[in-house]
Structure 1
Amino acid sequence: MERGLHDRDRVGVQDFVLLENYQSEDAFIDNLRKRFQENIIYTYIGQVLISINPYKQLPIYTDNDIKEYRNKHFYEIPPHIFAVTDNAFRSLIEENKGQCVLISGESGSGKTEASKKVLQYIAACSGNQETIENVKDKLLKSNPLLEAFGNAKTNRNDNSSRFGKYMDIQFDFTGTPIGGNILKYLLEKSRVINQNSGERNFHIFYQLLAGASDEQLKSMNLTRSLQDYAYLSDGEKGIVSSINDAENFRQVMQAMKVIDFTVAEQTQILNVIASVLHLGNVQFTEEEGKAQITNTECVQSIANLLGVHLEELKNALTHRTIDARGDVVTSPLNLEMAIYARDALAKAVYDRLFSWLVQRLNVSLQAKDTSTARNNVMGILDIYGFEIFKTNSFEQFCINFCNEKLQQLFIELTLKSEQDEYRREGIEWVPVEYFDNKVICNLIEEKHKGIISILDEECLRPGEPTDLTFLAKLSDRLGDHAHYLCHEKAPIQVQKTMRRDEFRLVHYAGDVTYNVVGFLDKNNDLLFRDLKETMSKADNNVVRVCFPESEYLEKKRPDTAVTQFRNSLNNLMDILMCKEPSYIRCIKPNDLQTAGVFDDQLVLHQVKYLGLMENLRVRRAGFAYRRLYELFLNRYKCLSKQTWPNYNGPAKEGVKILVKELNYGPEDYRLGETKLFIRFPKTLFETEDAFQEKKHDIAAILQARWKGRVQRRKYLKLREQVIILQSYCRRHLAQQAAKKRREAADKIRAFIKGFITRNDPPNGYNEKFIANAKRMWLLRLAKDLPSKVLDMRWPSAPTHCQEASTYLHRLHRLHLARKYRLALSEERKRQFELKVLAEKVFKDKKSSYPASVAQWFQTNRIPSEHGANVNSFIANSCNGESVKYCSACTKYDRHGYKPRERFIILSNKAIYVLDGKTYKQKHRLPLEKLDFDLTNHSDDLMVIRIPLDLKKDKGDLILEIPYIIEFCTYVIDTVGTADVLKIVERDSLVHNMAKGKSGVIDIQTGGGEPGVVRDKSGHLVVIAGQ
């Protein structure tokens, strides 16, 4: 608890006992609001837990949360329903005293969900054997089953419990659940036939229609439409978004299997539910004062589902048999009575089915083996909360009476009993005024004078009693009571808000106005004998058990409904009084069922009628902890040397010694006649912590002594064994050392012999040495491999690695070459392809070839000043041909060999020769018809052989091209063959001239400046270099 105090300004205090202004209602509500806004829904008043319904799922119920709260002190951890359950559970096991968890609050405040969390914690804290799991499953599965048949949507709560439930869980001595028993109280069976606007009938009807298969519905003659059934079509219900009826039906059927319902029983239960729906659709007409059934097919469906005779059922719905002192008289029913009989049968069938379900569930939950039982029982009470509706009837009267009784129990067990205990123990304290609602309980249940007695008296008296005569009798006898108010005696202002058929009770929770219409009928709860007899003959076993034959043969009138309820309620009070209670007070923060909304006035109203302020004042005036001297001394006697291990004097004197030893302050405790009272939980925690620490110290001393003796025995035995083991170890180590030395000598000897014979063929002496030499050579080679293609280095290799070295050298060269090739760009690759082509054509054939190797080929050798004009010609005159090469050149005339400046262009189809000055075309020579002659010297002269059909009597073309090797390579690459090129190895070239004449070109080598001249003989002389 103390760890949360530093956050109290933001999230409030965890226990209202620590609230500074504890008498202020505003401070109380403000503390609740702070915690609610931080999603902290639990707060303590001492050991009473206040729970605010969050209307949403919170992540505070996981397995980790259960572990956190298990076996912890109540105030050691933050408030939680798990803490309350764990405290009750441990008290049950450790102190062998029956426990009960009382969950109370208004409808919609979260009581049903709280009971589920209690069950969840108990199930998680018990064992997991197969039989135990079976019991836990049945306890947990009882919830969806009972909720389906006993819960309904109201205007205040989508899952409101319309019955009271008290569950006893039986445990064995280890705290394992071995069985259980369930008591149910006052099922609101009138809901079967009628619901208020905006409310629904019991869940099971909607679950059946939404979740059953088409075959099942067909066998029961049902449809899925709610509007087809009178008992479901009243009120503005529609589909409820927070409820999944189909999924819930699946869970209900699964629960039936877990709780050991047979397949036949499941079918019979669903048939009963279907028969109730069909009953609501039975219609009557009246002829001459006699009721007649108009839709026999509905009755036929009911007869088939319940296994009764059709005619007997029709007769029972329209006739009544009376046995008056041996005279049996059967009379027909009028329309009003027939409708009453139909609705009474529907209510009775459903109510008795629910009772049978609870009884059947108890049979399944009954402990199979009671040999280990120690009568350890924990009860969980989940009963309807206080209800104030727009129209309050007989059901609300009973529900609110029940809440008055529970409030009285709370007063007796907490407030009043607390004061009485202090007085008995002689403890001084400040008396606290509180409202004792015993006066209201007496007003309702006092013999011969209370409302219940008057109601029974009016129901049983002869004549024609009515609801109004009952109200008149109430007003006559109770009109002067301070907590009763009727229309006749009310002030004028109150009369304006009350009808003449209403009375008002001043409950502890507020004023409630009840309408008496239906009080007598609901209290009589009359079901005609004919209907009982017909049901007792049903083939449906469930119905036959619910309507035993002995019932309709019994002449004695049964107790009225309210008397039965009062008796069962008094029995419940007796059960609860025998147990140690734990309280969970549930509060709803708003009427909208909306998360995050906190209505101060609504919460304050609930705080008042739950008596929380009185409870807080008692706790602050009193003491949070009290224990018998014997129990306290027995637990904490180890904390003082004077009381440990045994104290022979009076227990009270021993406790005095302990209190002094623990340095209790004078305001921290009081010594009563038989008990020690401790005011603050913190004081108790310090005592418990000291006990836990001391317990560990005592255990440590005992453990140390025992361990010392055991360890000495082990030591002596171990020392003897170690001496023997050491001798074996020394011998083994000496043997290992000798073996290691021999192996080392062998290795050195082998190495020396291997070195001596290292160059011999492999043998037994040198094979390891050679293998090592190969490995080392490979390692050196890997570190010193050439990284470039032109790097011809290669490390030397040992004798035995020469062959491998040759292969590796070649492979590495191939690898570098391939690596180089893959890294080439497309343009550079093209250059190499041309160079390779030039090598094939000119190497060792033309003297100028070696000089051309170092130069990269180019496609354009036109000087820049002529580039634009040449490009213009190409664009306008080449007709889309692809230009492969262009260059400046010199043409020699066929007459006199006069030089002319020209430009030569090579396309993919022809050779163009342009004038060097005018850039006009001089020649266009198709490639496929040309041949080319070169000399084998270093000159740049070329003779282009032109066929006769192209010569036009002009002869061959003589050109001097600066980059003759480059030009010829492009020509061969374009044509695709080297056959068009002829390299002449003579000292002269003969060419054709005009008019069939021949010219001679002489080649001179060995001296002179390179060039082209004409000699005196008229020949063209080419002076080639050296």
Structure 2
Amino acid sequence: MENKDPSRKTVIGLLDIYGFEVFYVNSFEQFCINYCNEKLQQLFIELTLKSEQEEYEAEGIEWEPVQFFNNKIICDLIEEKHRGIISLLDEECLRPGDATDLTFLERLEEKMGNHPHFVTHKLADKMTRKTLERGDFRLLHYAGEVTYCVVGFLDKNNDLLYRNIKDLMCQSKNDIVKECFSSMDPDSRRRPETVVTQFKSSLQKLTEILMAKEAWYIRCLKSNESKQSGQFDEALIRHQVKYLGLMEHLRVRRAGFAYRRKYDVFLKRYKPLCPATWPHWRGVAADGVEVLVQHLGYLPDEYKMGRTKIFIRHPRTLFATEDAYEKCKHELATRIQAKYKGYRAKGEYRKQKEAATKIESCWRGTQARKEKEKRAWAVKVIKKFIKGYMTRGQAKNTDNSEYLAFVRQNYLNRLKDNLPKTVLDKTTWLTPPAVLTETSEMLRKLHYRLMVRKYVRGITPQKKAQFQMKLITSSIFKGKKDSYPQSVAHPFADSRISEEDINTRVIQMIRNERIKYCVPVIKYDRNGFKPRQRQLILTQTAVYVIEEAKIKQRVLYTSLKGISVSNLTDSTIVFHITREEPKQKGDLVVQCDHLFELLTKLCVIANKQNAIKVVQGSINFEIQAGKGGAVDFSTGPEPMVYKAKNGHLMVVATRARTR
């Protein structure tokens, strides 16, 4: 760039480099470009370390060696004299004989076979060999691996200008072209340098110029390949960051001290964090910084004090300090606000306190007057209540009318919350006061009638029929037979034997009579009292005793003169039968588990309520004309039925359970 001040001999130069080139096929041109980038990367590292070291020396900070990848080994591999790739390429171009690109590759394999950054198809292992052609060699650059094809290397390196063309260039009227060829001696008979040697010399001069200058770096990144705004290709950015060596630069900078700042600047920013430095530090800035970092708790290896600057090693230390500063700013602002608000609020409070005191005094006076009136009224009410209580037994008058009204209301309210829930509950009705005795009795009757009405309305026809039969059972057995109370809770069934379980022949024989009820029973023989399993069927006109397919006995309801049962818990029934015919069998003795159900059904069907008798002790029955028998009843620990020694049927029942 042009310098307009003649007194200052300064130069500003701009070096524009794109970076590494890695194509699908890389040849001689890519080799030269990548070699240039290797040299510039080496220069970049040296300049970076140099600037860091100079600043540390100027501040009196001890320089600590930084571990980083030094690509000098790759540069030596390419440019070392007599052993580098460039030297071997020039030898192959200049030597007599039949030199080819493949002989050049063989020469490289011979000289560099053990180098860690060089590999060919011949030198590679089995896995790497699959990625290399026989005419390729691979260099491990600092930014990655690049595979070069040796085809054309010798021809491109020997690309020399003819002498007449050089003479023509020297006669050019363009100053730049003429300057480029002016150094060439037209009379020189030396062999011209090869392309790669010229490139190496030019790069060496560029390096010397850069080393003599103060270098500043501008790293440009291409966000996407399509050159459009708003698109960010992460993979492309990562690739450029890697090839530009930015990570190495950051590692070099962070390996030393990540942050450095002059004492006065550092103290001015962070002095609120320490009470000793806030709000003003009266001494030297360096001493104030030392006090500040001691208060913040910096460890000795986290910072260094230079001549004019403080050096902080780790970013996390600075981040913690900055976070504390951000928090402190809010606290300082809060303190200022609190002081100002306190001042304003204090004056406002005084005014409000005076006003509140006046309002309170007026309000308390008003409340006291109201309270006085309430107490006076309460005294009158209590006096009247006590007088009413004392005259509660007298007739209603002006003295006890309010008390009696209170008593009535209180009793009715308590009665409302304690009404009986069921018809059978006769004990929960509250005892009324004397003035409400008659009213309480009327309310009690009404309430029970209402509960009975609700209960009756909720009864189904089936349940009603059950109750009617239970009522008949109660009229016959209640208070007479010991097992009756236990039977009340068990509902009656329509039949205990279904028609499918009755023999079809029996059904055909009694088909003219409608079957009303069936139940299994045990029949005892009249002679010997041997038990027999039978079915007892009640029809419209008669009782049938069935043995499988046979009708063992038919007893018309008209010939049934009585039914006897004991007063104990047994289930024995004796049917007394009128002997109208000579062949008519005698009385029937059976045992039925459903005694109350059977006899109730029989009473309903045959209208024999008055024929059932509950007997104590023994029941006599007729076996045949002129011959009789008896059933004796007693109690014991277990129920039994057997023939006694006196020839009677002995029935032992268990004792009735008492509640």
TM-score (normalised: structure 1):
0.32
With a CA cutoff of 8 Å and minimum separation of 6, indicate the structure with the bigger relative contact order. Answer: 1
TM-score (normalised: structure 2):
0.47
